[in-house]
Amino acid sequence: MQVLKFGGTSVGSIDRIQNVAAIIDEISQTEKQLAVVVSAMAGETDRLVALYRSLGVSIETREYDLLVASGEQASVALLSAALRKRGKKSTPLLGFQAGFVTDQKHSKAKIQNIETQHIQNLWADGSIPIIAGFQGVDAAGEITTLGRGGSDTSAVALAAALGADVCDIYTDVSGVYTADPRICPEARRIPILSFEECMELASLGAKVLHPRCVELGAKYRIPIRVINTFNRGECTVIKQMDSEDKGLESPVVTALSHDHNMILVTVHKAKNAVQDYARLFGPLSDKGVIIDIISNSAPDAQGFFDLSFSCPKEDIVNVETLLKKFGQEYTVRSGLSKVALVGTGMRTHSGVAARVFRILAEQSIPVFCTSSSEISLTCVVPSELVEKTIQSLHKGFELGNP
């Protein structure tokens, strides 16, 4: 039993839809229980969202969801028609027809339950369900959408609900790479990645899969394969590492990710760590500002310390408004980017930070802030040095060699 998901670029034109129909036709020769989840045609959701935004209304409405859900409605209809043309029996299903029940949070609904009876009936009838991703229906019968990473999340959630063996995410890249190949020509596809590494990479800026869908895969232990629709020979398998994989020595660093869109705020001479954090971060969280890296200096002789945190660039107005109320001297630095090293091997290997700083020092790359988790190390560097940083670290940690 298999769930296939095709992204927007994979169904971006009639030719591409016909190509996807051929892939489904081929797989269905050997796999009888197949469910297909489809995104809107590339550019369509953006077009609809732009129309909506020009009205100047909040997106957290049933109107927004009804509008953007029409994008997937068109693509499932076209894909099912392309399969019909090939003589293949399939049934296009909107989110609500496929049994996706969500909460009522318009534009960012969460899947509560998937009633798979309809899909099971279609299988019994020899028909392939072609399901609109990204959408569902709430208890009141209103159409909802899932927000960012929605279609991938639909696919993995469906695989979990059906108890599928695997969820294949067809997209326009051949998997997850050791670094962005546009920045780092030596970057190499990673054949197998653990859920936790993938989640770290996604959270730290790699764009292949949304953390939400990886989290779901990890929770229900559904292996996710990232496959290039236009070159199906290569892929990355994201899975729970089991005994077989544990036999291998994990590399210290598996991959690098980066994210351009950030500012670094430093509050000078804060005094009472816990209280100050609460006074500052509480209101920021109320405004929906996502605080990423937090770091503080050790207190000086008078007990004062500097507190730094990073957040997305678009939140700068909210942040400055609150900092002014906070009443403490502060600095806001923009033009900065994150570069992160991720790898489960970092758990058992010491000296990663030392190696990173040595490599960066050799290249005269200044680091404004660092942060680490059990399996990642993040450095904040000037945006104009991101490429150089990634190239140096990729080479320094020999990520180009399998």
Nearer to a second copy, 108 or 333 (CB): 108
Backbone angles phi, psi at 331, to 5 degrees: -125, 135
Binding site residues, a second copy, CB under 8 A: 14, 17-18, 48, 51-52, 54-57, 61-64, 66-67, 69-71, 73-74, 76-78, 80-82, 84-85, 92, 94, 97, 141
Written as six digits, the tokens of 123 are 């299988």
Mutual angle of helices 386-396 and 352-362, in 10-degree steps:
130
Helices (H), 13-103: 14-30, 44-53, 62-85
DSSP code for 249: P
Tokens describing residue 260: 């351009």
If the CB atoms of residues 1 and 77 are measured against a second copy, the closer one turns out to be: 77
**Least Å distance between CB 90 and a second copy?**
9
The least distance separating a second copy from the CB of residue 118, rounded to whole angstroms, comes to: 10
Residue 13: both structure tokens together? 């034109």
Identity of residue 214:
V
CB of 164: closest distance to a second copy in angstroms? Answer: 25
Q: Give least dist CB 367 to a second copy, A.
A: 46
| Distance in Å, CB of 32 to a second copy, minimum | 22
Nearer to a second copy, 76 or 262 (CB): 76
Q: In angstroms, give the least distance from the CB of 139 to a second copy.
A: 15
Complex with a second copy: residue 23 or 67, whichever CB lies closer: 67
| Residue 243: its H or E element | helix 243-246
**Residue with Cβ nearer a second copy (55 or 124):** 55
Return the number of the residue (34 or 390) whose C-beta is nearest a second copy. 34
CA dihedral 257, 261, 267, 268 (to 10 degrees): 70
CA torsion 86-10-170-34 (nearest 10°) is -30
Residues in the chain: 402
Rounded to a whole number of angstroms, the CA Rg of the chain reads: 23
